Amino acid sequence: MNIFITGAAGYIGGSVATRLLAEGHSIRGLVRKPGLADALQARGITPVLGDLDNAALLTAEAQRTDAVINAASSDHRASVEALLQGLRGSGKAFIHTSGSSVIGDDVGGDVLSPNIFEEDTPLIVEPKKEARHAIDNLILAAANDGVRSIVLCNTMIYGTGTGLHAQSVQIPPLVAQAQKNGVVRVVGRGVNRWSNVHIDDVAALYGLALAKAPAGSFYFVENGEASYGEIGAAIARRLGLGAVQSWSVEEATREWGVGHARYSFGSNSRVRSVRARRELGWEPVHASVTEWIEREMPIA
């Protein structure tokens, strides 16, 4: 199968591309920089120079390929619309990468939410995440327009990526801050919990979804959960540092920005991936983010 992947030089897209190449697929990958294009070419991926704002390019790529995987952004609506325009009426697969912060709350790390969502559970979406939720629904509705549309809603992803970009977006900033300041810090008391999943299991699910998922499918992607206090403690043990310390959302914002401070690190995002196991036969094998941190996480 010939597959077009946006974000092919990124953490998720690169790892998915590596997996699909190994399974015998041909990959065209969207990339913004000529240097990265050369690196993709060296890995067997045909680079497509451009970005998410080039609607005509995205539509043309969608028309010429057998399937599209959007792994560049969960929030760029115009690019999704351009890709769907190219796929309309074709019956081709479109896999969109969403993220479970779509149901994240804003509790500053101080509250453990009792809400655990499955795919069939009505979601609680805060106003700042409504735009992402609307994009997910737009993609699912494309099933009525002749697109085999699929949304994979990833949780906290950990593990070393197999593409050009090896680091995920949540744990590495915590580690970098700890290495810089000699102390691990979490937002608030760190009792907030996130579901999580290893990048290798994520890539495996993309392959299964490409092969088997029906049109209009939504899947959470998780295999376990941990609090930020537990994650912080594991980082401290891995780095040989002392007790984890708390800081406020305002202090964390100065270090990581408001999105990370409030939603990546200060929220709860608790989900269960029921449907992917039941419908696609997904069997993730990595079950503990804290064990990975303590035993396998690379330290620069």
161-216 confidence digits (pLDDT tens): 999 999 999 999 999 999 999 999 999 999 999 999 999 999 999 999 999 999 99
How many beta carbons lie within 10 A of that of residue 11, not counting itself? Answer: 24
Residue-by-residue DSSP string for 17-31? HHHHHHTT-EEEEEE
Q: What are phi and psi of 250, to 5 degrees?
A: -65, -45
Question: Could you report the per-residue pLDDT of 92-103, keeping only the tens digit for each?
Answer: 999 999 999 999
Write the CB contacts of 202 (distance below 8 Å, at least 6 apart in sequence): 12, 15, 16, 152, 154, 157, 221
Residue 288 — very low, low, confident or very high, per pLDDT cuts 50/70/90? very high
Can you tell me the mean pLDDT for 74-84? 98
The domain segmentation of the chain, as residue ranges, is: 2-106+116-162+196-221
Question: Could you report the per-residue pLDDT of 202-256, keeping only the tens digit for each?
Answer: 999 999 999 999 999 999 999 999 999 999 999 999 999 999 999 999 999 999 9
**Tell me, what's the pLDDT at 147?**
98
Can you tell me the mean pLDDT for 34-54? 97
Q: Is 34 helix (H, G, I), strand (E, B) or coil?
A: helix
**Tell me, what's the pLDDT at 223?**
98
Average pLDDT, whole number, for the chain? 97
**Tell me, what's the pLDDT at 122?**
96
**Tell me, what's the pLDDT at 52?**
98
Q: Is the pLDDT of residue 300 over 90?
A: no
Can you tell me the mean pLDDT for 23-39? 96
Residue-by-residue DSSP string for 72-117? S-SS-HHHHHHHHHHHTTS--EEEEEEEGGGG----TT-------B
Q: What are phi and psi of 6, to 5 degrees?
A: -85, 150
> What CATH number should be reported for the domain whose range is 2-106+116-162+196-221?
3.40.50.720
